[in-house]
Structures are given as C-alpha cells and as structure tokens.
Amino acid sequence: MVSLTAPYVSGFLAFREVPFLLELVQQLREKEPGLMPQVLLVDGNGVLHHRGFGVACHLGVLTDLPCVGVAKKLLQVDGLENNALHKEKIRLLQTRGDSFPLLGDSGTVLGMVSGQPSPSLSQALRSHDHSTRPLYVSVGHKMSLEAAVRLTCCCCRFRILRAMRQADICSREHIRKSLGLPRPPTPRSLTQRPVACPRGDSGESSGEAPSPQRQADRTAPGGCRSTR
C-alpha cells in the first residue's frame, strides 16, 4: 500500500506513479535477481503521448529495461481522435492479432501495418477474437513496435493482458481487505445453480452414509449441490 502524494495531471502520470513502480523493480533486483523480467508491460502509454514520453518510456529509462505501453483507451494526441473514422477502422479488425496504424495530423507515423516492420511507434491491436475494443500498444524503451505488438498479443488470454488483469484483481482484493470493505457480489452469470438430486439418490433414505464424492458435492462453492 502506498500513499500518492503527486496530484493527477493529464500527461504527467509518470510523476505520480513511476516512483513506486521503480521501487518495486529495485526491490526485486536486490532480493530476487533471478526473477527480474526481460520486459515490462505498463498499463499506460509510451511514445503515444502529448510530449512523446509517457509512463512506459519514463519507467523504461529509469530501470534500463525494455518497456511496452499497453493502454485500454486512445490518448487523443496529434489529431488522433476516437471519431467515426477511427471506430470504422476498429470495426474492420476481424480476428485476434489484426491491427492498424495510428497517423497523426503532423504527418508523424505513430503506427504500423501489422507484420510490416517500420519506424512506427504505436498501433491499435485486436487482442482477442471475442473483443470489439482494441488495445493501444506503443513503444516504451528498448523495444521495436513489431516485437511489442507480437509480445502483447501472445500475453492476452482475454482482451486485457493476463499479467495486467491479475494485477488489477489482486490489488483491488488487497485494498478491499485492507479497508475492510465487503466483497462485491458475484455476477449472476458466474453463480452456480443448484441441481436437485433425484429422489432417493442421496443415499440417506436407504440409511447409507454419503460417499466422500457426494459429500464434496454438497460443499461445492455457493453451498449448492451438483451432479456429474
């Protein structure tokens, strides 16, 4: 748990968060050098930034590790907008791994056509077949965009990178426990429905003791009985 001291100012996220991230990397380097990552994937932007130097660049330079910015939303810089044209390009992303370049009004190429190397710096990527919202991948430090996009796609089991998804889940659970907050309700789609056993199937009516497997069934998550 940390206490943020810097205010949130758009475009200056690194000054608010990087000191704590840098401390974590340094602790890992000192205590568990064998677990040092080969690359850092950051929930934010790299060169896709108002000043061309987002949180992924900032952290990469200070740690001297390859770094990739992976954002969930488009940072609207250099004329890039989430307008009808942009949404149409997103609609044309058909399968996992499809992508399109991000080109600013200045003529600066901020993206690349998928699979074709170029000096591009960021790109919109469809990370999962069942997701209609892309990720925005940008170069942070010591990493080509082609490699960054390929790595990002390989790390996505769902739309969001697995490491980032787990970090979100674990950190929110830690905050909930630390603050003594109630556990959020389980979505109805994840709630197990009880399945009634056929009459006499429990074994109790005949005076038989329930088997270990049936006893385990009774104590299934949610207190529901289940049948196989």
pLDDT at 51 (0 to 100): 87
Q: Amino acid identity of 107?
A: G
Distance in Å from the first CA to the final CA of the chain: 43
Least confidently predicted of 62-66, 101-105, 169-173, 180-184: 101-105
Domain ranges of the chain: 13-107+120-179
DSSP state letters, 98-167: -EEE-B-TTS-B----TT---S--EEEE---TT--S-EEEEEEES--HHHHHHHHHHT-SSSS-HHHHHH
| Mean pLDDT on 184-198 | 55
Q: Tokens representing 221? A: 């998550």
* CATH architecture of the domain formed by 13-107+120-179: 2-Layer Sandwich (3.30)
pLDDT score for 15: 94
pLDDT of residue 92: 78
User: What confidence category does residue 35 fall into, taking pLDDT thresholds of 50, 70 and 90?
Assistant: very high
Average confidence (pLDDT) over 119-128: 57
What local confidence, expressed as pLDDT, does residue 118 receive? 38
Rounded to 10 deg, the angle between the 13-31 and 55-63 helix axes is: 30
- Cβ–Cβ < 8 Å for 32, 41: no
